[in-house]
Amino acid sequence: MTPQLCLGTAQFGLVYGITNSVGQVTEAEVAQLLAQANVAGICWLDTAQAYGNAEAVLGRNLPAAHRFQFISKLPAQPLLRFSPDDAKSWEQAFSLTCQQMRVQGLNSLLLHTSADLRKAGGQYLEEWLLGLRERGLVQRIGVSIYTAEDLEGVNPELLDLVQLPLSLFDQRLLQDGTLASLRASGTAIHARSLYLQGLLLTPAAQWPGWVSAEVRAHQQALESLALQRGCRLIDLALGFARDQMDLEAVVLGLCSVQELRELNAAWTSSSPWQGSEWQSWALEDPTILDPRRWPH
């Protein structure tokens, strides 16, 4: 199955993305974008309490008759250890999400960081998550990860859905077998960072100065390939994503109805890749692949 499209909403509540030149999306644009996404058959919306006021913006601007399924994330927890009493604050956070989005429950709730499960008292967080699913308030629970190590020691019962980074340049979790092993165990996978926060769609000449000459040359080679094939960088980035049959969905942030039109056109056109030749475009350099390592 080809993966489905999931609309990422970080830009609805924050100025997000290294190449973002428009800032936070206006509410009027959000309303239009959601209406058009609904018409276009996009069924997933991905949000989080950590995305500023994105959840409240969504709640105010959802089209009347929509078919969206919602995924949100519990923020990374500041506490170093948990007690049974902490379930109250998690419950409040979950209730606030539902209240702001004007829904009774969610399709999925993920932990923004799986490290919270490894803290002293992590079993209380685990019990609360399993309880949410048992009570029918969410259909699925899961985690958002950066690396395969983030899954170490996590109870498989908590892994209905995993969100992870994946792109033409970042194929680490594909190459090390993480995607295949998650799918084999029945976990749904949503990929984010398909554009590497927009860098993959931006000519190397406009990249920030801290990027190494080697990585910059890699992007220039991709630009040359796009010219040769008569396609755009977005076609190469999305052609790679569409070939990933282990994915349920790909999470893509949009700032305008125009971007949605471009995405739909690119997503439904034939792939510029021949076979699996995209495998040779993977990079190894974690300083470019992990946005947590980028200079701010």
| Tens digits of residue pLDDT in 28-72 | 999 999 999 999 999 999 998 888 889 999 999 999 889 999 999
**What percent of the chain is modeled with pLDDT above 90?**
82
Residues 6+ apart with CB under 8 A from 99: none
The CATH code for residues 4-293 is 3.20.20.100
Distance CA 31, CA 55 (A): 13
Longest dimension (CA), the chain: 61
Task: Tell whether the model's pLDDT for residue 208 goes beyond 60.
Answer: yes
Distance CA 240, CA 196 (A): 13
Predicted local confidence at residue 38, as pLDDT: 94
Model confidence at 19, in pLDDT bands (50, 70, 90)?
A: very low
Query: What pLDDT digit, counting tens, does each position of 229-272 carry?
Result: 999 999 999 999 999 999 999 999 988 899 999 999 999 999 99
Report pTM: 0.94
Distances 27 to 40, 48, 55, 202, 296 between C-alpha atoms, Å = 20, 17, 12, 26, 27
Task: Tell whether the model's pLDDT for residue 18 goes beyond 60.
Answer: no
8 Å CB contact between 283 and 165: no
What are the extents of the domains in the chain?
4-293
Predicted local confidence at residue 15, as pLDDT: 58
Task: Tell whether the model's pLDDT for residue 228 goes beyond 70.
Answer: yes
Model confidence at 135, in pLDDT bands (50, 70, 90)?
A: very high
